[in-house]
A and B are shown apart, each in its own frame.
Chain A
């Protein structure tokens, strides 16, 4: 026990910034010309430019969200909408620029994991600078690359699925993402293929004021399965930065997808993401989502349960300390009979942080014999912090069940007293209780992420 606590006592070394000059940038602000330039620079097909331009016009028209956190300090005219620091996507580890390798070293990616990363993708600035499709993935026919490359190599697949779940007019930020997207991950798992290792991607925002507009598209074909993991860490800098990603996941009949995210943006980042998945008959979609940093996070991953016996789940933690506003939740929609959904949301707020759960579960009239369960659990560590649960539960037939539980508690005096009587300091005891609280979440993570999560929580305590 002691050594564990010592380990997590070491401070996490995330607050640094590499000196990389973007090779190509469109400057600050957005207009139609910037959108055209982005597309031209990427040598995109005409149809993608058309999608971007249409989205740009929707973006101009749409107002900012009118619920949740205050976004009035987000100056969209100051953001750089496109830049890249590497002219081509590297083929092998040797080709990866040294500065970028140094970044991984500084994040403290262990040697073993760097090897692991050799089979994955590293997102740096707006585009993947490193892509190395592991040969066994290739043999299985799995396509795993950044979305820009996918557009070049598999235009038909991209065209078939791009924007089909998340429309440009969904909200202002999906319109923005559709207009200026760059990078993100593309995965296609063919019928019946099981990806045995988790596929990983590492993201960072580096230069201050870099807009990050990843577009991720995952298609898990019938009877296939995949476990995708992404981790985000951002160095600390002063100007506001926006991360407005869009993720679309298609889980076909009898398929399985688990999508894990750990987000630890620095405290100036607006993380406004839209993640949607659709699960066909007997398919299962799992979101695992940890939101530890940023200034403001607005993220409500959803699953549309479209076929009989489809199931969806969301397991999330949110951590908010001073100056952090986490507005997160899950959306589950049951459109077919015998579908089930499960949401477990855990949050911790401290020193004036705000954690809200904003979710929606809807069981349609034709979705007979369906089940939905939601559990929101919050630890509020002091009187300055606030939390709110804003659920919307709609059941439109008599054969289905919906349960919603919400708990808000402080750290239990009894537990603290007990642990301190065992010789722990109050700080150590508190940490242990928090670790125990998030365990149902951390235990679902790959080991190195669980270790990283412990370090992150430690840093924030």
Chain B
């Protein structure tokens, strides 16, 4: 099974989130490719079983450097893909707290991908409890992807 984990970060929190998820996926025997959003090609989700995005929110907006990636995301047919979205944000941004996590999962749903796990929103740097949530998030994705593969 193949997974593509895409992250966008400025200060490193979302990379930490991506790393935790990757570690867990690898433990579960998944082939993992981890890549930064500005280098990522949305088309590659078409060849993966699991797609994960971890992104920060910039005053309610998608990261600038990810504009291209996100724009493509929506237009693809990702019906074979199981996805999950996580992000680190700061609650002081109120209604925009991790809002990009919802936007991205909306886009992936629109591209007919299957949501394998609920969105995860993390406050700033992931702590131990967050790491546990992310491990469960990763396991859940694998479970759903396996189920789909069997059918």
Minimum CB–CB distance for A346 against chain B, Å: 25
* Residue contact A63 to B61, C-beta cutoff 8 Å: yes
Asked if A304 is an interface residue, CB under 8 A from chain B, the answer is yes
Docked pose: A58 CA to B74 CA in angstroms: 15
A364 within 8 A of B: yes
Q: How far in angstroms is the closest Cβ of chain B from A219? A: 17
In A129-183, the 8 Å CB interface with B consists of: 163, 165, 167-170
A168 to B, closest residue via Cβ: B106
Closest-CB distance, A299 to chain B (whole angstroms): 16
Residues on A with C-beta less than 8 A from B95 are 60-61
Partner of B60, one of A62, A168, A364, A392: A62
Answer whether residue B16 sits at the interface, using C-beta atoms and an 8 A cutoff: no
Q: Is the CB of B60 within 8 A of A169?
A: no
CB–CB B106/A304 < 8 A: no
CB–CB A66/B106 < 8 A:
no
- Residues of chain A within 8 A (CB-CB) of B41 are 365, 396
- Does A333 sit at the interface, judged by CB under 8 A? yes
> Given B43, B60, B61, B106, which contacts A167 in the complex, CB threshold below 8 Å?
B106
Chain B residues with CB under 8 A of A167 = 74, 106-107, 110
Q: Which residues of A contact B36 (CB under 8 A)?
A: none
Chain B interface residue count, Cβ-Cβ cutoff 8 angstroms: 18
The 8 Å CB contact of B43, one of A60, A163, A170, A364, is A364
Contact A62 B107 (CB under 8 A): no
- Chain A interface, number of residues (Cβ within 8 angstroms): 23
Say which one of B83-91, B96-104, B137-145 lies at the interface with A. B96-104
Q: Which of B59, B68, B102 interacts with A61 by CB under 8 Å?
A: B102
**Nearest CB in chain A: distance from B72 CB, A:** 8
* Nearest CB in chain B to that of A170: its residue: B74
Least Cβ distance of A66 to chain B in Å?
Answer: 6
Closest CB of chain A to B115's CB: distance in Å? Answer: 14
- Residues of chain A contacted by B59 (CB below 8 angstroms): 63
Q: Which residues of B contact A170 (CB under 8 A)?
A: 74
Question: Are the CB atoms of B110 and A169 closer together than 8 Å?
Answer: yes
Q: A66 contacts B61, CB within 8 Å?
A: yes
Q: Please, which residues of chain A bring their CB within 8 A of the CB of B102? A: 58, 61
Closest Cβ of chain A: how far from B31's Cβ, in Å? 20
With A63-B59, A63-B60 known as contacts, the answer to whether A169 contacts B103 (CB < 8 A) is yes
Q: Is the CB of A304 within 8 A of B107?
A: no
Within 8 A of B (CB), among A299-341: 304, 333, 335
Q: Are B61 and A169 interface neighbours, CB within 8 A?
A: no
- Per-residue CB contact flags for chain A residues 334-369 toward chain B (1 = under 8 Å, else 0) read 010000000000000000000000001010111000
A366: chain B residues at CB < 8 Å are: 43
Query: Beyond the given A66-B61, A167-B106, A364-B43, could you list 16 further A-B residue pairs with CB under 8 A, ordered by the A residue number?
Result: A58-B106, A61-B102, A61-B103, A62-B103, A63-B59, A63-B60, A63-B61, A63-B96, A163-B110, A167-B74, A168-B106, A169-B106, A170-B74, A304-B75, A333-B72, A335-B43
* 14 A-B contacts (beta carbon < 8 Å): A58-B106, A61-B95, A61-B96, A61-B99, A63-B61, A63-B96, A163-B110, A167-B106, A168-B106, A169-B74, A304-B75, A392-B68, A394-B68, A396-B41
